[in-house]
Amino acid sequence: MHPLPEIALDADGTRYTPMFGQPVMVFGADRDRLTRTLNRALSRGVVSTIFTTDLFTTSHDDANRAAVAAAARDDLDLAGIAIRADRKTIDKIVDGLRLHQ
């Protein structure tokens, strides 16, 4: 298990909380590739976190969930996904994606 990251301080002494408790790699992809990646994850039993474009236009979690519930999986307008699994599984899921630039 990885230790939680420490709080960051800038030169002015402003405190910032850590973003994640696990190592993170960010890949860039268009909607079709994100959908393919999500389907690969689900076919391997990996439950994913999804970020749809609606997430950035709604103001609360209930509206976010309602927007997701209104679309079939292949019709979700994905802006991003987050997945967590062992490295071998992740490598198979993200095969063909490039790191975000």
- State pTM to two decimals: 0.78
82-92 exposure pattern, b = at least 16 Cβ within 10 A, e = fewer: ebebeeebbee
Amino acid at 77: D
24-99 folds as Bit1 (3.40.1490)
**Cα 15 to the chain's mean position, in Å?**
25
pLDDT in tens, the chain (101 residues): 555 567 788 898 888 877 777 778 889 899 999 999 999 999 999 999 999 998 899 888 899 899 999 999 989 999 999 999 999 999 999 999 999 88
Tokens 């689900």 correspond to what residue? 42
Q: Which residues contact 57 (CB under 8 A, 6 or more apart)?
A: none
Tokens standing for residue 87: 């490295």
